[in-house]
Structure 1
Amino acid sequence: MYDGPVLDNHLHLDPVNGRGVEAAEEFARAGGTHLNVLNKPSWHLVGDVDDEDGFRETFELTIDVTEKADERLPGRAWPVLGVHPALISQLLDRGYDPDEAAELMQAGIDVAAAHVATGPALAIKSGRPHYEVDDAVWEASNAVMRHAFARASEVGCAVQLHAEEGEDFEPVAEWAEAEGLPRERVVKHYSGGYVEGVIPSVISHRDELERACEGEWPFFMETDFIDDPDRPGAVLGPKTVPKRTRWLAEAGHEEALRRAHVETPARVYGVDTEATLRR
């Protein structure tokens, strides 16, 4: 049976409206050891953002709750900070044009990159809308994403992408490489069991996890838990990755679990989940 680290690669902890650290404790009680904690969209934490200070406030809230979660885990919790791509629609509704919205979002990416450079954050979050938008918004969103790749290359970190469904992200991987970021440092959040070009962070549904385990490519497991009191188990609850890890171990997927929880975190983020489990 697999008895190594258990990482949820994409989970939210909301210290303003949600359960916050309590959800991390539930994850640990279920057998989880490590968390990558993504900041919730800025409008959920601090309201409207019109300058870098709004992003700083959003990120500081996430850093603080992640540090508290870190104290309650047998392993580590790391913040992953950035700008949710749906912010562009929020800004358009408030009177920004696409280029103005992209400029503000890029400023938020810069703040996130600074937190990586100075130590608190592990990686950057970016992406593009997963819903239909017009060409100008799509182009502006891609510009923000490419800016995130460039800044990640400068500070030496990975980028988690919130983007549309699908398996072909080869063009996105090529954009990352053009900005100096290796494609293996680009992670597709809320992925199916396989994607082309970048690293899948597989939403922990049984069928998609089985598909990932049956291949030989690197992958992560995630819940995308959103920590919303009105939707307590959405998207998946914090116990899901530990429970799915046990289920996959019972099915004989120990090698794949080591890939998800040890080898891929080392390859993408440069973290040692085994060494940090023994701290």
Structure 2
Amino acid sequence: MDPILDDHLHLDPVKGRGVEAAEEFADHGGTHLLVLNKPSWHYDVAVEAGDDFRVAYDHTLDVVADSTEVLPGRAWPVLGVHPALVSQLVERGYDPEDARDLMCAGLDVAAEYVEEGRALALKSGRPHYDVSEAVWAASNEVMRHAFALGADLGCAVQLHAEGSEDFTEVADWAEEAGMARERVVKHYSTGGVVGPTPSVLADKDELERVVERDVPFMMETDFIDDPDRPGAVLGPKTVPRRTRWLREEGYDEALERAHVETPRLVYGIDTLGTLA
């Protein structure tokens, strides 16, 4: 069995399918998962302090432990603050600077989990929709705080951001903070993203684009695990299916990059050595 990693999906053990979705992934040949916490509001938590983020983080740790039991490999948690939170906080009456500080506090708590070895990496980013200049500036400061934490911890940072392909400036910010730019991961990437490491949504056309570039990359579904949006964004079986398709197309070297070499480069994880 060869490793097959989904670099970014959500598993909701409270309202969603939870470990059942991990079992579906494994049934179709998947071996390893990086599970991102869902935003706190999905668990009916209106955050007011850093510790309020622990509810979402702890649910994620629980479902990761259960998922590891059903996978041929294992799952790892990636914890942090969804960038859309800034808009919710502003709507609740926070000014952008206070929203920034609360989101940074949430990242500080996530960093505790990484430092303790209970989480693999951090997540941050900035809104993928139009916002005011003040909110945009605050969001960039939150993201740069995540880079400072990633540098201190020696861990990767996954980014949720706008649909651009040129994130060179963002990767430069990470380097200025002391991170290696390849340890910054652009989640929901197209095949042409430059600057960070692209985590490419498992679309055939975009996968072909990134394969032809001969760069480090990973594959993801961004599965939401929301009963009101079944199958969104892509279902858990998609990365195993796209992996089989790429193998049939003769892209064995690219699959080694996606599922073995890039995860080792970015996260320091061994997808071969952790196979049962």
Residue 55 of structure 2, aligned match among 57, 60, 73: 57
Residue 185 of structure 2, aligned match among 187, 198, 201: 187
Amino acid at match of 2:205: D
SS of match in other structure, 1:62: helix
* Alpha-carbon offset, residue 238 of structure 1: 0.2
Residue 92 of structure 2, aligned match among 91, 94, 116: 94
* Alpha-carbon offset, residue 257 of structure 1: 0.4
Distance (Å, rounded) in 1 between the aligned partners of 2:225 and 2:159 = 19
Amino acid at match of 1:245: T
Residue 272 of structure 1, aligned match among 267, 270, 273: 270
Residue 213 of structure 2, aligned match among 199, 206, 215: 215
2:181 pairs with 1:178:
no
Within 5 A, what are the aligned runs for 1:177-256? Answer: 177-256=175-254
Aligned to 2:158: 160
The percent of aligned pairs where both chains have the same amino acid is: 68
2:155 pairs with 1:142:
no
What is the TM-score normalised by the length of structure 1?
0.98
What stretches of structure 1 move > 6 A for 4+ residues in a row?
Answer: none
Distance (Å, rounded) in 1 between the aligned partners of 2:173 and 2:74 = 31
Distance (Å, rounded) in 1 between the aligned partners of 2:6 and 2:247 = 16
* Alpha-carbon offset, residue 195 of structure 1: 1.2
SS of match in other structure, 1:276: coil
2:64 pairs with 1:66:
yes
Amino acid at match of 2:181: R
Amino acid at match of 1:43: W
Amino acid at match of 1:169: F
The answer on whether the counterparts of 1:46 and 1:54 sit within 8 Å (CA) in structure 2 is no
- Structure 2's unaligned 5+ residue stretches are none
Aligned to 2:149: 151
The answer on whether the counterparts of 2:25 and 2:236 sit within 8 Å (CA) in structure 1 is yes
* Alpha-carbon offset, residue 42 of structure 1: 1.0
CA distances 1:87-120 after superposition (whole Å, capped 9, x unpaired): 0000001000000000000000001111000011
SS of match in other structure, 1:44: helix
* Alpha-carbon offset, residue 258 of structure 1: 0.5
The answer on whether the counterparts of 2:51 and 2:109 sit within 8 Å (CA) in structure 1 is no
Alignment RMSD? 0.7
Distance (Å, rounded) in 1 between the aligned partners of 2:196 and 2:15 = 33
Within 5 A, what are the aligned runs for 1:2-151? Answer: 3-151=1-149
Distance (Å, rounded) in 1 between the aligned partners of 2:166 and 2:211 = 19
Distance (Å, rounded) in 1 between the aligned partners of 2:230 and 2:237 = 12
Q: Give the 3 Å change call, closer, same or farther, for CA 53–46 of structure 1 in structure 2.
A: farther
The answer on whether the counterparts of 1:160 and 1:187 sit within 8 Å (CA) in structure 2 is yes
Distance (Å, rounded) in 1 between the aligned partners of 2:7 and 2:241 = 15
Distance (Å, rounded) in 1 between the aligned partners of 2:148 and 2:44 = 27
Distance (Å, rounded) in 1 between the aligned partners of 2:171 and 2:153 = 18
